[in-house]
Every structure is written in C-alpha cells, then in structure tokens.
C-alpha cells in the first residue's frame, strides 16, 4: 500500500523523520526564571507519545534581555541547561520522537505590560530594550536602545552558546527564530532597521546580522542533526516585498548549509493587522520558498484538517506541515489523522486498548460532538 504523503518518511538533514507532521513551537509561559517546569513535561510528553515526525518546543531566550514575557523559557545559563537536559531525558524515557529546540532574542518587541515582570523574574535591574535602531515597535512598547557593533558580536556568540547548550541537552533539531517582529526579523526589515552602517540600508546589509547568527550556529550545530530558521514572509504592512526578501534570506541559508526553512508571518510594527486567518494561508508562500530557495520547507498557518495537510505535501507546496493549536485541541492529532487517511499506526502498549482497531467505542468517540450538534 502506498502511504499518503503526510505519513511518508522524510530525510531532514541528518534526521530521518517517520512522517511529515511537525509540532510547531507553542509558548506556554510556565517557566520560572527561564527554567522549564513540570508543566512542560506533561505538555511535550503528551504530544511526543503520539509520534509526530518532530516535536519542536517553544523558543528559549539566548540572554536575559532577550526574554519577552513572564514565564518564557531561556537557555543561557547552567541551571536552565540542567533543567532542560532533564526534561529531554524524561521524554526520551518513553518516546523516540525527534525533539527540536527554538532559540530567540525578542529585541524591542517586549510589551510594557510584561517588561517589569520579565526583568524581575530574571533578576535584572534594567528596563532597557534593544533593537537595530532607536525605533519602537509601536503602541504599548518602549523605544529601544540601538545595538552597537560590540553588542552584535556578543549576541552572535550568545546564539551560538545557546545552540551548544541545546546540543548538550540532546535535542535533535535546532530552529533559529527570525520572525514575528523579534530581533533577527527587526534587522532584515526596513521598517525597524534604519541603520546607516554595514548592518543597515541595502537588503544585503540588513541580512548581515541574521546571517552572522546563522553562520555561527551552523558552525556549532552537528551535521548529523537538523538545523533550520523560522522566517517572516508577510508583515501585513510592506506588501509583496517581504516575500522577495524572505526568499533572498532563504537562498543565503542554503549557501550556509541549513537543512530547512519554516515560513511564517507576523507584525514588525504595531499597526500591522493580520486579516482573519484562512486554512493554509501561507501555503503559496511556502511553495515559492521551496522552489526558489531550494531547501525543504515547513509551513504553518491554520493547518487543521488531515486531508488538507496531506494535500500540501502531496502537491509539492511544502515538505512538512507545522501544526500547533490543533495539537492543543487534540493531542492525538497524529493518530486521528492516520485513521482519516487509512494509515495503520501503532499506539504505545499502555494505550493500545483505545486503538481504533480494538476499541468498539471509536465511532461514538469520533461522532459524539457532531451528533450532539445535529
């Protein structure tokens, strides 16, 4: 029997994924001083036992000044690394699902309502935020201090150091967050980067700092694992030029030896207003990135229905479907997708009694809400 595209294996860098389903990062805001807590174990563990192709945990700040909300995780000190390593070990004890880690610096995009709490939680006495230029995100955010060249060198080292920590923790995949209005995105957007030195002005200059970070992480991240970057392709202000610039960044990442790109969208200024999301609204962008950048692509954005996800892969729009809130709604999304697409998957031995092939209650469980509404 030919497997549906969504359940076909895929070689991603040094990893062999069992299927094309990726659990995309979802911020939980349940950390304490940047350390993961039991909440993260139950959240990630529940998703891991369902056997997606890869499970990527929420982004961790590469330094204290880069954390963007109270309860955000971080990965810049030994205590945080030890807690993260224990989390990975615990999940590995019951699941072989490949695990990914995303790293970030939130730059200037730290809301005023969160700023004091974040600084207090992490033991900082400064309320400064930082960005490529002294231009604020907009309403509800303060004007940042412009990063100096020495600051940029330090931050490149911070990203590489966090990647090394993630490597020691045992993660299989590393994703650099360069989207959603955070620091790396702030550098390659002309709306937030007004510098006149070698890090501003032309697109090549605006890409310089994100690519220095990418190159530093590529040097330390093992080739037998997987390395990618999440790129902002639509900012809801600038129009089609953002896709052109995102593709240019993707092409540069291919040259650096990256293994994949995750295409996403998000505001770079507070006036950017996302229209109502439609299922698969980023799929056309993903296809363009895949064809022009020449790297495997993960696409996110209202991918909920298994047949929709399968079509995205089967029709060559993307290589992986990144799914987030659908997994919160249904932690067994993989199993239920397999049922819909006629694929036999194994359940952990402790859960076998609920397998559709063994449990007579399956039809009732699948139809109970529809029947109640009808």
Decide if 23 contacts 56 (C-beta within 8 A). yes
Strand partners, 131: 146
Q: Dump strand ranges (E) for the chain.
A: 10-12, 15-17, 21-23, 54-61, 99-104, 130-131, 145-146, 173-178, 226-232, 260-264, 297-299, 320-323
Q: Which helix (H) or strand (E) holds 267?
A: none
CB atoms within 10 A of CB 147: 22
List the catalytic residue out of 76, 182, 188, 260. Answer: 182
182 given a catalytic annotation: yes
d(CA 316, CA 220): 31
How far lies 268's CA from each of 46, 54, 144, 237, in Å? 33, 28, 14, 8
Q: Angle CA(240)–CA(242)–CA(246) in degrees, nearest 5?
A: 125
d(CA 323, CA 187): 27
To the nearest 10 degrees (0 to 180), the angle between helices 333-341 and 306-314 is 70
Residues annotated as catalytic (active site), given as ranges: 182
């Amino acid at each position: 029997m030919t497997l549906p595209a969504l359940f076909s294996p895929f070689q991603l860098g040094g990893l062999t994924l069992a299927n094309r389903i990726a659990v995309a990062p979802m911020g939980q805001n349940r950390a304490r001083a940047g350390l993961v807590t039991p909440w993260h174990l139950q959240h990630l563990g529940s998703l891991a036992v369902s056997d997606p192709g890869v499970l990527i945990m929420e982004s961790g700040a590469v330094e204290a000044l880069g954390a963007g909300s109270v309860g955000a995780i971080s990965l810049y000190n030994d205590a945080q690394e030890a807690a993260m390593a224990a989390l990975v070990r615990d999940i590995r004890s019951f699941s072989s699902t490949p695990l990914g880690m995303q790293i970030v610096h939130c730059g200037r995009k730290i809301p005023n309502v969160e700023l004091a709490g974040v600084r207090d939680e992490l033991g900082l006495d400064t309320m400064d935020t930082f960005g490529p230029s002294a231009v604020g995100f907009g309403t509800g955010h303060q004007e940042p201090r412009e990063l100096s060249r020495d600051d940029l060198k330090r931050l490149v080292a911070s990203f590489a150091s966090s990647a090394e920590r993630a490597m020691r923790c045992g993660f299989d995949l590393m994703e650099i967050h360069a989207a959603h209005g955070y620091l790396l995105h702030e550098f390659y957007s002309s709306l937030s980067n007004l510098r006149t030195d070698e890090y501003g002005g032309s697109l090549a200059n605006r890409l310089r700092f994100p690519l220095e970070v990418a190159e530093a992480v590529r040097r330390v991240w093992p080739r037998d694992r997987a390395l990618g970057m999440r790129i902002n392709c639509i900012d809801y202000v600038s129009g089609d030029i953002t896709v052109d610039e995102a593709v240019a960044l993707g092409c540069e990442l291919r040259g650096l030896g990256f293994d994949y790109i995750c295409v996403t969208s998000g505001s770079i200024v507070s006036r950017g207003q996302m229209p109502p999301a439609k299922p698969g609204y980023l799929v056309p962008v993903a296809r363009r990135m895949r064809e022009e950048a020449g790297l495997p692509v993960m696409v996110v954005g209202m991918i909920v229905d298994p047949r929709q996800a399968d079509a995205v892969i089967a029709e060559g729009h993307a290589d992986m479907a990144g799914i987030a809130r659908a997994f919160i709604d249904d932690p067994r999304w993989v199993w239920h997708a397999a049922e819909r697409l006629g694929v036999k998957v194994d359940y952990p031995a402790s859960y076998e009694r609920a397998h559709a092939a063994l449990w007579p209650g399956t039809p009732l469980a699948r139809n109970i809400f529809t029947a109640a509404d009808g």
